[in-house]
Amino acid sequence: MANQDKKDFLERINRALNAESFSGMSNALAGDFVDDYSHLFLDLKDDLDRSGMDFLYRTYLSQIAVLTVMSYIGSFMVTATVLIIISLNIILSLVLLIVVPILLTSIFFVFFYKYPSMEASSRAKSIENNLPFALNQMSAVAMSGVSPAEMFKLLQNFSEYGELSRESSKIVNKVELFGSDVTTALSETAQETPSEKFKEVLYGMVSTIDTGGNLKEFLEQQAESALFDYKLKRKEQIERLSTFASFYTALLIVAPLFMVVILTVMNLVGGDLLGYGIEQLLRIGVYGGIPTLNIIFLLVLEVTQGDF
């Protein structure tokens, strides 16, 4: 049994060394392990399907396993090198040598694991931001009596619609390349799309087609509803931006200017503050504090208003 395990291990190493890509190497090294435990990460499979990333579930999970091991080895070596250079006491060095690599490896693992979910969320925002305009165009095209497949074929040629164009291409490919009927293509795409709103539209189109309803009226209603939600969302965002602007003016323009004036006057009088020279504090504030606060503000603005 031990000989067989050793033989299997050497075979995996050989396949990894002869792999032409990192994906192939990862599958060779960690594929068998992933097969045994992949049922524990089914939420990752769903996120991967919705993210639009060109990775098989087994391949991506194998890459996570390999990258996690690599990140642990790398962080362990870097931590050990730093500890040798700074020469801390033995006990503290051992604690740091254990804790730091585990902490950094956990951060890397969480990032790799959550990345498909972040990609899916980004795609959902792109789809929902463009959905009102796409529905408006589809309802206008429906007046000419074209088929749903032709509607989505038209949408896929508009790069301005972002991820919505990719979803439209999926529907067209299912119909034209794989021979699926329109309702099957719409249903399958609805199961894969990361946007709940687009999913509702697709299932609504399937229901309307199956029951012989008026597709033009359905699309008009959906377009009006989506446009109303879009305007309401933009109004809320503008109000939040107005609040951010007020905070920015008060905290990052008026307050720093006020502090610079006070410190300048104090510098003329002489003395120090909290053990630091006034001129030194001015330099720290102007060249360090104010830029840092502005960068933090921009990051918060990007996170909260990035899809504006």
Domain ranges of the chain: 2-120, 124-230, 234-305
What's the rounded Cα separation, in Å, for the pair 267 and 135? 64
Residue 124 CB neighbours (<10 A)? 21
Which among 158-162, 168-172, 249-253 has the top mean pLDDT? 168-172
131, 226 contact by CB (below 8 A): yes
57-73: pLDDT as tens digits: 888 998 998 899 999 99
Share of the chain above pLDDT 70, in %: 90
Give whole-number Cα distances, 164 to 110, 234, 253, 259, in Å: 28, 19, 40, 49
Q: Is the pLDDT of residue 52 over 70?
A: yes
pLDDT band at 268 (very low <50, low <70, confident <90, very high): confident
Phi/psi of residue 230, nearest 5 degrees: -65, -45
Mean pLDDT on 24-34:
79
pLDDT for res 307? 58
What's the rounded Cα separation, in Å, for the pair 127 and 295? 29
Q: Is the pLDDT of residue 201 over 90?
A: yes
Residue 34 CB neighbours (<10 A)? 21
3-state secondary structure 18-75: CCCCHHHHHHHHHHHHHHHHHHHHHHHHHHHHHHCCCCCHHHHHHHHHHHHHHHHHHH
88-126: pLDDT as tens digits: 778 888 888 899 999 999 999 999 999 999 999 889 988
72-83: pLDDT as tens digits: 999 999 999 988
pLDDT for res 110? 92
pLDDT band at 4 (very low <50, low <70, confident <90, very high): low
Whole-prediction pTM value?
Answer: 0.73
CA angle in degrees (0–180, nearest 5) for 53-59-63: 95
Mean pLDDT on 115-139:
90
Q: Is the pLDDT of residue 151 over 70?
A: yes
Q: Which residue has the higher pLDDT, 285 or 162?
A: 162
What's the rounded Cα separation, in Å, for the pair 37 and 9? 18
pLDDT band at 1 (very low <50, low <70, confident <90, very high): very low
Mean pLDDT on 172-187:
90
282-298: pLDDT as tens digits: 777 778 888 888 888 88
Q: Is the pLDDT of residue 177 over 70?
A: yes
Mean pLDDT on 170-182:
89
